[in-house]
Structure 1
Amino acid sequence: MEFNVGDLVTRSSYDSDIVFRITAINKGEAELAGEELRLAADAPLEDLIKLPDQERKDLQKRSREKEEVSYRLFRQEAKLMKERNRYETSDGYKEDTSYFEMRGRVLHLDGDPHYLEKCTMLYERLGIPVYGVHLPEKEMPAQVASLIHIVRPDILVITGHDAYQPSRGPENELKAYRHSKAFGQAVREARNIVPQLDQLIIFAGACQSYFEWLLKAGSNFASSPDRVNIHALDPVYIAAKLSLTPFMDRVSVLQILHHTLTGREGLGGIETKGVMRRGLPWKQEGISFSNSPNDE
């Protein structure tokens, strides 16, 4: 069977447990990226099974439905947060006043351009200001500093593909991970610029990443505590929750994981403050803020 870059496939040696997208083919070997999961792998072409058209359509439908459920839950909580903001800025509805929100800006570095596009669309749908950059994982440490100076983000997301490879060593050895070292080095470069955990909030990691190493490097949130796979959109929900939470409020780890598609087995971190700031009065003329309280 002929295979091409972009084909959706499974691996027969793993009982077709995960659907991958072929990202490159070289000398009978295919480089693979999880279609829904941030997992990197490779396999000989003879081990691959191409996904039939109907199964491909069914997968895309199930994926959209799952993502839509998570989105609706997030929007429900965002509306509750907005109503609380209105109550507080109007002194318990005693004052007839309007306010504006300055939501946290996200710099999202992603090793997969396909995932970056999906993430950017979700950020925009949630009303989160974002600057997305596609970079191969190993280039992130060298590029992150200049990007921070240019974008001046409140939240930094460093993600792409990763994998724990037991044949290279136990879970506590960095060499056993495909891209955890690069993620952690990028975090350290970012912390050289902004050391304070609440002035620059960092999420780092992908599927099966070295969770403890990424936290020690300076991340607020990371993957993957149980070395499980995480969903492609999980970093977005973490960043969005922080972007929409007032800077005087703390966000517990359990609270921030509530709307992710993976949960505590794949994601974790430390208690962190939100970054959204409110102001008043809101004026339609003059200075324009991209995220007014009327935006839905």
Structure 2
Amino acid sequence: MGIGDVVVRKSYGKDITFKIIDVKEDNGEVIYILKGISIRIIADSSRDDLELVNKEFIAEKDKILNARVSQAIKNAISSRGGTYTRITKSPKIIPEKELMFGRPGKVLHIDGDEVYMENCLKVYKQLNIEAVGRSVIEREQPLKVVDMVKEIKPDIVVLTGHDGVHKNAKDFLNLDSYRNSRYYIEAVKALRDYNSSYDELVIFAGACQSCYEGILDAGANFASSPNRVLIHCLDPVFVCEKIAYTRIDTVVSITDVIENTITGIKGIGGLQTRGKYREGYPKSVYL
């Protein structure tokens, strides 16, 4: 087995497919560092627990997740039928529906994993959301995020990548128990020092098993992971979709945001937040 091979872990029922990204030696034992293909997690394993699979192989859990992704995309698009084009009528102007137009919120997605980022950008495009992606490793995100926000001027910022709870960790509020949670927290704090308004700048931060409470306390609107579970690589995208396409004068239903994700309430949570969708009238005749 070597870097780039696709494997499953026998002790976990072969539930998740991983790619080997590094091989290390610990006290004479070879340890394989693994990255989830669809799940935002970094793990390690001994050789004996791994089984090679073909690149075409999709673990049973991945099949279920992929089906949920397809359904979530359909639900997101179909839910916009009339939902985001309403406008209050006045005695002077009664807008015709065909003359209405709108602008969803703009997203800056900063991801510690370039492959995950590219997959997210494809789905943003499917959902008709303007999104700019930047691949930045987790420990550098606090140093670079504010300059990127100043450059791109997004309405919504996503800070994600990989995370995970260290083996034998018992204190789930101690940042030493996590691989990367401290970096997400530092990045969120930097953003809130730059813009303290939860409505002007909406922030999602975290990855698999991240320190949910610490990230929210730092100033994020939404975070992972309340129950320290694994989250899907596209969960941040579906959070953004709900915010981007909810009207600016409406507080987004937190339960609607969570139900819109792949992982659900155990993996994603957050605070009341206003939408970023702005309606306009009338449409330009030249477009």
Structure 1 length-normalised TM:
0.88
Over residues 247-279 of structure 1, what are the superposed CA-to-partner deviations in whole Å (9 max), with x where a residue is unaligned?
A: 100012101111111111111000110011111
Over residues 54-84 of structure 1, what are the superposed CA-to-partner deviations in whole Å (9 max), with x where a residue is unaligned?
A: 63387776554331111111112122413xx
The Cα shift of 1:232 comes to 0.9
1:68 matched to 2:70? The reply is yes
Aligned residue in 1 for 2:172? 171
Contact 1:89 1:99 (8 Å CA) reproduced: no
Name the one with the larger helix percent. Answer: 1
Over residues 87-135 of structure 1, what are the superposed CA-to-partner deviations in whole Å (9 max), with x where a residue is unaligned?
A: 4266699543612212111000011111111100000110100010011
Contact 2:164 2:209 (8 Å CA) reproduced: yes
Contact 2:16 2:59 (8 Å CA) reproduced: no
Aligned residue in 1 for 2:43? 41
Over residues 29-52 of structure 1, what are the superposed CA-to-partner deviations in whole Å (9 max), with x where a residue is unaligned?
A: 322111121111122334321124
Moved more, 133-142 or 21-30: 21-30
Aligned residue in 2 for 1:140? 141
Counterpart of 1:22 in structure 2: which amino acid? I
CA distance in 1, matches of 2:280, 2:95: 14
CA distance in 1, matches of 2:49, 2:60: 23
The Cα shift of 1:223 comes to 0.5
Structure 1 residue ranges without an equivalent (≥5): 289-296
Counterparts in 2 of 1:280 and 1:215: CA distance versus 1, 3 Å: same
Question: Aligned-pair RMSD on alpha carbons?
Answer: 2.2
Contact 1:252 1:270 (8 Å CA) reproduced: no
Moved more, 24-33 or 68-77: 24-33
Matches within 5 A, 1:130-279: 130-279=131-280
Aligned to 1:198, the other structure's residue is in SS state coil
Structure 2 length-normalised TM:
0.90
Moved more, 32-41 or 236-245: 32-41
Aligned residue in 2 for 1:293? none
Identity of counterpart residues, as a percentage? 34
Structure 2 residue ranges without an equivalent (≥5): none
Residue 8 (structure 2) aligned to one of 3, 7, 10: 10
